[in-house]
A and B are shown apart, each in its own frame.
Chain A
């Protein structure tokens, strides 16, 4: 068990390393001089040289790379070109908002999606099942930023039930501001989770042990929840990991729609301002998240399915 987790952790290291290296070189081969981007086109050559020296941009590339990695080791992402703030400060300020949004959205998505999937599976080829199929098709086709914009226009602009933008303060303020963006992402993910629950549950309900449970007289409720859903959870746990990742990438556009602080908003703004250190930091944070979620999925798998332990 411990060995399996350790092996997974070690296995993630090359991926992280490769991502960091790619990000570093992608930022360096970019057309355009960061010094010019920071100081403007009218800057004097002397100023530019001074700036490059200050930011360590005049060092040879391999040395810059070493500095970059050494900085990351102590969570130092460098300094923003546009404001006099450390990138790590900016990230730390924005990260909680993105996590708040993602976690709320995934929770709502699960609470909505799993019962929908169970309903569709237990009413196979009848009205709830057909409705579920249409729901999941539309849930796939509708882009998150469009659904967010519709909800924003209807519930904030026309009805005035929710705030137009911002993130609020305190628990209730935060909840009040996060609810509409979170529902946007949750509706889309619930379509996916519902479809997955349905497929997984249908598969399990066809198994021998379910027939045995029915034969020995277990109630339908017990058969579905105790024997069915519990065993349907294994493929579902992968789906949950995937929807966390999808929610995370959806959060970028949704943060923009609701004009909400967060890493996505920070990243997009940095791209428009050509603030390379911030872009670098934002990209790394997102990439680390992806690696972490994948890792967590692998580990959760061991707990949910004892058979994996044997293979490892």
Chain B
């Protein structure tokens, strides 16, 4: 589940489909219940993720101040009842900036793995299903992109494109696409061997129908697991890009640029740094614990 560790996980995910040909599909609700209540750590992680969603969705109502409102009579304040985490060098309320920053993390954490799953899915399924030249081209692209650690790839693309909202989405999507393509390809190869696909081909069912009716539903599980795991990565990489000044641009709050502003002002107060990083760490930790549990629940190897 670590960045550098992703390839190993991906192979495991790809093999998931291959190893579990006839196991009865667990009902989605049963699966959710089983995952969340399996361990105390998972339950806590689920609660943290729900709180994160609520805060991000309700930022407008929850935040005590406007995150952009500057006040030059209230700069660099320490935590108090008026400002729970104090104020920054522009007199902005740090707590409100953190709360609004969570929206940013949520959007990138949800959208980029989704886009990457769609694009990577299309690439992987076509490579796995059609084989031949398509497969060779896709594999070549995957191998090349996979050679780069995704953060480095993200920095390199951001360097070329610059940091606006959609550019950051593009950056993260490109960085995560090869992983999805690989899983989708491996899973498709496994599903293609199944009798029901062979039967459909023999019966003369049209190719698009085979792909959407028989292949895609059967490779969704590993893709969903990967999306969960990588939304944690996406939040971390987005924060890093914002920290480097390549992501969300100031004055708009992002957990990454709160730390950036904090470092410039560290001689006056270190509260923004500590609080901003704490938020990222807790949310990434919670999402990756959840993702791990989902994977364990779906992966027969662990259950045995």
Contacts and interface: CB of A to CB of B under 8 A. Distances in A.
Nearest to A31: B162
A299 B155 CA distance: 28
Q: What range describes how many residues of A lie at the interface?
A: 35 or more
A248 B3 CA distance: 13
Interface in A142-178: 142-147, 149-150, 152-153, 157
B156 A268 contact: no
Interface stretch (B127-135, B204-212, B281-289): B281-289
A114 interface: no
Contacts of A191: 2
Nearest to A32: B162
Q: Is the interface of B mostly helix, strand, loop or mixed?
A: helix
A267 B245 CA distance: 12
Contact of A138 (B240, B262, B281): B281
Contacts of A146: 259, 273, 276-277, 280-281
Interface stretch (A82-90, A208-216, A284-292): A284-292
Interface in A171-205: 191-192, 195-196
B148 A192 contact: no
B267 A249 contact: no
Contacts of B288: 137, 140-141
A152 B266 contact: yes
A272 interface: yes
A245 interface: yes
A191 B4 CA distance: 11
Contacts of A287: 148, 156
B156 A286 contact: yes
Given A256-B243, A287-B156, A143 B266 contact: no
B156 A153 contact: no
A252 B154 CA distance: 12
B4 A141 contact: no
A221 B158 CA distance: 49
A105 interface: no
B31 interface: no
Contacts of A18: 144
Contacts of B159: 267, 271, 279, 282-283
A283 B239 CA distance: 21
For the residues of A in contact with B, the DSSP-based class is helix
Interface in A124-147: 136-147
A38 interface: no
Contacts of A192: 2, 4-5
Interface in A228-252: 239, 242-243, 245-246, 248-250, 252
Interface string A99-132: 0000000000000000000000000000000000
Nearest to B239: A143
Nearest to A250: B151
Interface string B209-250: 000000000000000000000001000100110011110000
Contacts of B5: 192, 195-196, 242
Contacts of A243: 4
Nearest to B283: A141
Given A153-B266, A268-B244, A271-B159, A291 B147 contact: yes
B160 interface: yes
A139 B4 CA distance: 12
Contacts of B46: none
Interface in B249-299: 256, 259, 262-263, 266-267, 270, 273-274, 276-277, 280-282, 284-285, 288-289
Contact of B4 (A137, A142, A246, A282): A246
A124 to B, nearest CB: 15
10 contacts: A30-B162, A136-B2, A140-B3, A142-B280, A143-B239, A145-B256, A145-B259, A243-B4, A257-B263, A271-B162
> What are the 8 A-B residue pairs with the smallest beta carbon separation, nearest first?
A146-B277, A249-B152, A141-B285, A26-B160, A141-B284, A242-B4, A246-B4, A249-B151
Given A191-B2, A286-B156, 14 more contacts: A137-B289, A141-B232, A143-B243, A145-B243, A150-B273, A150-B274, A153-B266, A157-B266, A246-B3, A253-B243, A253-B244, A271-B162, A279-B160, A287-B156
